[in-house]
Structure 1
Amino acid sequence: MTKPRIALIIGSTRATRFADTPAQWMLKQAEARGDMDVELVDLRDHPMPFFDEAMSNLWAPSENPEAVRWQQTIGRYDGYIFVVAEYNHSITGVLKNALDQAYKEWNRKPFTAIGYGGTGATRAIEHLRGIGVELQMVSTKSAVHIGGGDFMAIHPYFGKQPIETIEANLIPSASAALDELVWWARATMPARAADA
């Protein structure tokens, strides 16, 4: 079977974002496995307006060229890893907007997440899972949460340590999340092909 193509989507665009640290670490974990082809997709490279189409692209084609380019980008993948910052107990506005700018491209594809913040982005990832269900996606049970003392240890304003200092705490959940992502991608790829 063809290896699933996975997009690792960085869900924050702030100039001072922390997202690059967990994104690069998760990319390294995924690439080392050999059972998926993973590519980094940065929302900074997709400057979409706030969703303002007449309706979802499930019902009518989008008109904004950046939205269409985004749909074409994410439509190429068989699954997703979201890098999730928690802003006020939820996902970032830019990530919510990116999810809203497509519909059918997300359908029947699995996703997992690596989240960070005081609580490891647990609330944000729960919100992401609810949104994913509405988009007809499949969420993995496992996710990676960088929170509490681990988050403070590696944050550039606090502990300033490299992420490798907490790696032993992250590898079990990363392995489980990636195992589940690949399993669901392999299960959904032939089913989607049969429907096409």
Structure 2
Amino acid sequence: MDDGDGLRLVILVGAAREGRFGLAAAEWLAVRARRHKEFEVDVIDLATAWLPDLMTADPAVPRPSAVRDISPWLDAADAFAVVTQEYRCGCPASLRNAIDWYDREWHAKPVGFVSYGGASGGLGAVAQLRQAFAETHAMTVTETVSFHHYEKRCGPDGQLLDTAACRAQAAAMLGRLGWWARALRRARDREPYEKTTDVYAEE
């Protein structure tokens, strides 16, 4: 794949509660990402994905249809931006469930975070998610967008009220996601990530 081809960014809305600020935050980020001509943007809302919460350890059992429906979108992504609220110093159960349903779809791809909460701005959830994504062989970027006291961030029309600092954070995160997405896509094209362990396998 040529470096000139567009990068596909999937924005994953992790919180599944009614009246979520996450939808406004995801659309705000999507608008900003689409201004970068290199990004093609898809938004996946876990509240409407209906992923089941009961899994099996038997690899022979087919994945449920709802899981299979989202898989091609994640597989085609070059980068991810995860929108998360902080629940009790951690991430929403719906988001962790989605991460655990998939495997190679995350491999060798960059992940950024848009978080929101009270005084912490949701950064406790981000810290937990960095560990989870490390186990999926994804690469999380340092740059993060964080909305502190998010309940004050929406206007009467429901649109997000941002600040220059938030816009700067988004620009930095999208720029870093783009860099890693291009670099890791070139690496995957040269050598599939799943085969890297074969090089050192004992004969």
Q: Aligned pair 1:163/2:160, yes or no?
A: yes
Paired residue for 2:132?
131
Paired residue for 1:147?
148
User: Where in structure 1 do 4 or more consecutive aligned residues deviate above 3 Å?
Assistant: 59-62, 159-162
2:113–2:126 CA contact under 8 A, matched in 1? yes
Paired residue for 2:78?
78
Stretches of structure 2 that go unaligned for 5 or more consecutive residues are 193-203
Paired residue for 1:181?
177
Identity among equivalent pairs (%): 25
Stretches of structure 1 that go unaligned for 5 or more consecutive residues are none
2:13–2:84 CA contact under 8 A, matched in 1? yes
* Whole-Å separation in 2 of the counterparts to 1:15 and 1:136: 32
Q: Aligned pair 1:32/2:32, yes or no?
A: no
Structure 2 counterparts to residues 19-98 of structure 1, below 5 A: 19-55=22-58, 62-98=62-98
* Whole-Å separation in 2 of the counterparts to 1:189 and 1:135: 17
RMSD: 2.0
Paired residue for 2:189?
193
Aligned length: 188
Q: CA deviation at 1:106?
A: 0.4
Superposition TM-score, scaled by structure 1 size = 0.88
Larger Rg: 2
The residue identity in structure 1 corresponding to 2:64 is N
Q: CA deviation at 1:160?
A: 8.3
Could you give the per-residue CA deviations for residues 40-82 of structure 1, whole angstroms, max 9, x where no partner exists?
A: 1111331111141225xxx667432222222222111111001
Q: CA deviation at 1:113?
A: 1.0
